[in-house]
Amino acid sequence: MTGKIGLMRELGLLVLLGCLWGSSYTFIKLGIETIPPVTLIAARTTIAGGILMVILYWRGLRLPTSPQLWKRFAIQSLLNSVLPFTLIAWAEHYIDAGLAVILNSLTPVFAFLLTLLITRHEIVNGRKLFGVMIGLIGTIVMIGIQALNGLGNVVLAQLAVIVATALYAGAAIFGKNFKGIDSMIPAAASLICGAIILIPISLIVDRPWELAPSTRSIMALMSLSIFSTALAFTIYFRLVHTLGSLGTTAQAYVRVPVGVAIGVIFLGEELHASTIVGLVCILMGVVAMTLPPGVLRLGRRKSPARQDEPASS
């Protein structure tokens, strides 16, 4: 990633990823109306993995054959799809999709703590700490304390989302193991591993041939598979390498303003001052976590040259 144009492109993809994953909670809520969680996620990973496989072959790419690499794909699948997808789908039987989004926005916090205390694979500086904290503050300001009034209800469901959030953070860090590989390959391979794990469980637990899913649930499943999984995973693995693990997890903060925008545009909800303040804080957090240090150094090197410029009136 070089230059301002490259940085803006990656930040644009970060926002797009936040939108794709931000909408997934609504798709899940609609899907589980008539499709059990395990079967929904098994279908999600199977459809998305199949789509990416077709695109890979169309591009002339092939999946690797290394057993060691496939072991990593399987671990990535557990961290990034099998466990968190299923936990969130189960939890949304008992909590609102909005609360799931709110709890899941803590991913950068977990990623920061894992990096600081365990992996130390990236430089954890004060700027990134500021990004984590200001983004979290912005999320709290935007949703309002009253939105967390139900936090004590259905504790197991809320804990399930928090565990999923920690797994997402671990997945962002583990995803660094696929550096140098086309981003679509680990995306497709990890989803295939997820399907292999979940399909037998679905057949045993849910007996999907006896289900009668509604048209709305099927449409939600297809949207979830195509946009929030196949496309999102491809973008995700690219950003892990261009923006880093911590930078990529900043998309979690983008999910909240996406939900607010949908409410304002399509549901006629009012845009309150707290929402605007929260959005500004979130954007500051995203920039602080993703802006490469070189950009700041470049700005400091250029500043002395401006001393000879005439002062503006």
Q: What is the pLDDT of residues 114-139, one digit of tens each?
A: 877 776 656 667 777 787 788 778 77
Q: Sign of the C-alpha dihedral, residues 289, 105, 5, 312?
A: negative
Domains held by the chain: number: 1
Residue 214 within any structural domain of the chain: yes
**Mean pLDDT for the chain overall:** 81
Domain that holds residue 113: 3-291
Residue 248 within any structural domain of the chain: yes
Residue 182 within any structural domain of the chain: yes
Q: What is the pLDDT of residue 60?
A: 92
Residue 205 within any structural domain of the chain: yes
Residue 121 within any structural domain of the chain: yes
**pLDDT tens per residue across span 20-47:** 988 888 889 899 999 999 999 999 999 9
Distance spanning both ends of the chain, measured CA to CA: 38
- Is residue 295 scored above 80 in pLDDT? no
Whose tokens are 């979290």? That residue is 136
Percent of the chain predicted with pLDDT > 90: 37
Residue 242 within any structural domain of the chain: yes
- The residue-averaged pLDDT of 146-170 equals 76
What gap in Å lies between CA 128 and CA 293, rounded to an integer?
A: 11
Query: Band of the pLDDT at 8, cuts 50, 70, 90?
Result: confident
Q: For residue 10, what are its two tokens?
A: 């990656």
Predicted TM-score (pTM) of this structure:
0.78
- The residue-averaged pLDDT of 80-92 equals 94
Residue 123 within any structural domain of the chain: yes
Query: Band of the pLDDT at 148, cuts 50, 70, 90?
Result: low
Question: Measuring CA to CA, which residue among 288, 311, 290 is closest to residue 245?
Answer: 290
- Is residue 254 scored above 70 in pLDDT? yes
